[in-house]
Amino acid sequence: MNLTETNLLAKKYLKIRKRSVALCAPLEIEDYIPQAVEFTSPPKWHLAHTTWFFEEVILKNNLLNYKVFDKNYSFLFNSYYQGLGDRAARNRRGVMSRPTVAEVYKYREYVDKYMLELLISPCLKELEKLIVLGLNHEQQHQELLTTDLKYTLSLNPLYPTYKEGYNLVKDHNSDHGWLKISEGIYTIGHHGDDFCFDNELAKHQVFLEGFEISKQLVTNGEYMEFMNDGGYENYNYWLDEAWSWLQSKHINKPLYWIKKNAVWYHFTLSGLQKIDPHALLAHVSYFEAMAFATWKGCRLPTEFEWEVASLSLNWGKRWEWTNSAYLPYPQFKIAEGAVGEYNGKFMVNQLVLRGGSVATSEGHSRHTYRNFFQAKQQWQYTGIRLVK
């Protein structure tokens, strides 16, 4: 089959699918399978699950006479979609040595072949939207693949290198000072015809008091000052749930930080590196971000303050914790079918993060993008921006 130069969606499909494979190119075969903890997934699973989405949600329903690659994969690689049937236990993805890595790559090739067959034929507008959703879904998993892999490799006492020179935590601030935002009524939410997730929709207005927001993110050196001042020992800086988490898990530093002979190092995807105090802080939880802000005499922005200010800020190196619970916008509606399970059902006990990170795929960031994680999570490239 010939892929025409004019089929932009097909070209985009190939580009994004190839990037997932490229991210795995430095891996040894042993790296594809381990699952360190329940909230991470093995690279092999990410490769298969993103392929499962295109087969299960698109090909089975839209390509005439399509035959599934393997009937067991619908069960093995479903994540949380109740409407699409049973699924393997999330915490046991790393014990699935079969199908093999080679078979998963064959699965990707098989699905890609039929997706391209579908893509070079005239697509209905609604189908195009579903395919674009699938591509954005894969980009989300590209970032998760990167962060999950880092977590797994960090547990190896050899501190292995994923890729030489692939240190994603060496960025510095380019701006300094404070940005003033005036009191007023502002419009929040995505508008336009380009892609967004459903949780960004239902454009609405909010009233904001005047505030000042930092033009720079907190650095490693600034966070060291907090630590050296007893930040992890003073309960006054911590929310009650945060203090319980800190005590029960024996947390006294950001994730991946290691102290050797009075010198701080951190694990990176290029191995163990000495911490640069001027580089941007990464891998802190909402609990830690809140404690630092309290110690500093500041606070975290709400997601609405962040969105308004973002038009005048440099962002995208770290996911930035906000002080906003992940809740539906006014008039938000959960879509019918499996697509409706994508965002809406997670709107409880989560905090919103804004921006993007060094691990976010190209073209996947928007100033209206609403990421969300539990307050205790540290393994994403998360950072801190202050408000006063």
233 and 275 fall within a common domain: yes
Q: Which domain holds residue 148?
A: 8-154
pLDDT of 140? 98
Same domain, 112 and 234: no
- Which residue, chain included where needed, has tokens 């839209």? 62
pLDDT at 334 exceeding the cut of 90:
no
| 170 lies in some domain | no
* 119 and 206 assigned to the same domain: no
Question: What is the pLDDT at residue 2?
Answer: 47
Question: Measuring CA to CA, how many Å separate 219 from each of 284, 287, 301, 318?
Answer: 12, 17, 17, 11
Question: Are 25 and 120 contained in the same domain?
Answer: yes
Per-residue pLDDT reduced to its tens digit, 295-319: 999 999 999 999 999 999 999 999 9
Are residues 211 and 311 located together in one domain of the fold?
yes
What's the structural domain count of the chain? 2
Report helix, strand and coil shares of the chain as percent, to nearest 5.
Answer: 40, 15, 45
Query: Do 241 and 148 fall within a single domain?
Result: no
Span 358-363, average pLDDT: 97
173 Cα distance to chain centroid: 21
Does residue 143 sit in the same domain as residue 258? Answer: no
- Among the candidates 154, 170, 189, a domain finishes at 154
Q: Are residues 218 and 329 in the same domain?
A: yes
Q: What CA–CA distance (Å, rounded) separates 144 from 295?
A: 31
Evaluate whether residue 83 is within a structural domain.
yes
First to last CA, the chain: 59
- How many whole angstroms separate alpha carbon 270 and alpha carbon 165? 6
Residues 224 and 121 in one domain: no
CA angle 295-298-303, nearest 5°? Answer: 125
Q: Which residues contact 271 (CB under 8 A, 6 or more apart)?
A: 159, 160, 161
Tokens representing residue 235 in the block: 């309960």
| Signed CA dihedral, 127, 130, 132, 135: sign only | negative
pTM as predicted: 0.95
Tally of CA atoms within 13 A in the half-sphere of 197 that contains its CB: 24
CATH code at 377? Answer: 3.90.1580.10
* Model confidence pLDDT, tens digit, residues 72-117: 999 999 998 887 888 999 999 999 999 999 999 999 999 999 999 9
Query: What is the H or E stretch that residue 325 is in?
Result: strand 319-325
* Per-residue confidence band for 3, with pLDDT thresholds at 50, 70 and 90: low
Is 68 in a helix, a strand, or coil? coil
Our separate counts of H helices and E strands in the chain read 10, 11
27 & 126 share domain: yes
Strand, coil or helix: what is 251? coil
Q: Are the CB atoms for 11 and 41 separated by under 8 Å?
A: no
